[in-house]
Structure 1
Amino acid sequence: MSKRPLVLLDVDGVLNPARRRGLRSRRHECVLDGRVYQVYLDRRHGRALAALARESGAELAWATTWEEHANLWIGPRVGLPPLPVIKVTDDPGSRAGEHFKTRHVAEYVAGRPFVWFDDSLGVPDWQYLLDHPGVGEFLLVDVDPMTGLTGAHLARAREWLAGRGAGDLDDAGAAAP
């Protein structure tokens, strides 16, 4: 089993912000289950995420309700190859206030250190992951859904991955929210 760190990616609010960020963001139409969605994507995100993975030895993976659709509609438009997908949509909901994706992420990481870029995570998610027996070191990067992923988010992840969060970790190895 690989011990390479993971970088987990959400789409909406992270790669697809709620409002267009500058001229480099391009509007795309995606058709999912007969519905047309408009997304605003910036190719620089793909290059930046690929560089983060390459420099840190991390593996990128989707942690989004887009699931496999992210490999069809999002990845190619930002310049990412097909990535592993964490299945998250078959879930009844929260048990302790955590986001419905959090339990699936906890199972998927299987002890590997990870950074998770998402716009819907908070203290209940951090606590759930901290208490889950199969979760090791992690960093939750809260992304403002209005602006999406920024260089500051990537820098924080890069720094954490370089030192596995040394100095920012509590006793259990999790970066505080």
Structure 2
Amino acid sequence: MLLLDVDGVLNPLRRPSRDFQTHDCPVDGTLYRVHLNPKHGAELLLLAEEAGAELVWATTWEHAANEWIGPRIGLPELPVIEMPIIGGRLAGPAGEMFKTPHVAAYVAGRPFVWFDDLTGDADEDYLRRHPGVGDFLLVRVDPRHGLLPQDLALAREWLTAAGKGS
């Protein structure tokens, strides 16, 4: 599987290059301005096809990613890992991000690459210790630039090295 975050990955935090288009996306009464590169969709679809992997949203945008993000970069509707923030906590007891337990439950032993800008050592430790999580690669995307060719190359190398497509 290829797990995709939006903010910091597909929507960089720094002013993007001319390859990006700006969109205003009203979600649940809040207007979000996002910068998206339409080329990312084709690159992710190609990577998924080459590796025999499934693309999955792993973002706080949750189902809104299928409405506002996917169509603007050429992705079809994707499965969504729901990411509720439980008890207002953004980090778990060992410092793992609030998304990490949701990802661990969703993957159910399937190999995966997770493109996110907020994962760190605590997330990697959590996933390695969690029963039912198999092989994985965390691709820590620089949120200033968003998803870059080297991030995709790292995922491609890992996925194809041992035939780890889903």
Q: Which of 14, 39, 44 pairs up with 1:44?
A: 39
Alignment-derived partner of residue 77 in structure 1: 72
Listed as ranges, the gaps of 5+ residues in structure 2 are none
Among 7, 13, 19, the alignment partner of 1:24 is 19
> Which residue pairs with 1:65 in the alignment?
60
Write out aligned runs for 1:100-139 (5 A).
100-139=98-137
Q: Could you say which residue in structure 2 is the equivalent of 1:3? A: none
Three-state SS of the structure 2 residue aligned to 1:105 is: helix
Normalised to the residue count of structure 1, the TM-score between the two structures is: 0.88
Match of 1:76, SS? helix
Letter in 1 for 2:17: G
Q: Counterpart of 1:153 in structure 2: which amino acid?
A: D
Counterpart check, 1:9 vs 2:7: no
Q: Which amino acid aligns with 1:104?
A: H
The whole-number CA distance in structure 1 between the counterparts of 2:62 and 2:28 is 13
**Matched letter for residue 51 of structure 1:** L
Contact 2:85–2:98 (8 Å) recurs in 1: no
- Which whole-Å CA distance do the structure 2 matches of 1:20 and 1:40 have between them? 8
Q: Is the 8 A contact 1:159 1:165 kept in 2?
A: no
Deviation of 1:13 after TM superposition, in Å, equals: 0.1
- Distance apart, 1:19 and its partner CA: 1.9
- Structure 1 stretches of 4+ with a deviation exceeding 3 A read none
Residue 152 (structure 1) aligns with: 150
Shift of 1:164: 3.7
Distance in 2 between residues matched to 1:91 and 1:139, nearest whole Å? 25
- 1:127-153 Cα distance to aligned partner (Å, 9 max, x none): 000000110000000011110000000
Contact between 1:137 and 1:164, CA under 8 Å: does it hold in 2?
A: no
Aligned equivalents of 1:165 and 1:50: distance in 2? Answer: 17
Deviation, 1:165, is: 9.0
User: Sequence identity of aligned pairs in percent?
Assistant: 60
Q: Which has the higher contact order (CA 8 A, sep 6+)?
A: 2
Alpha-carbon separation, structure 2, partners of 1:43 and 1:121 = 25
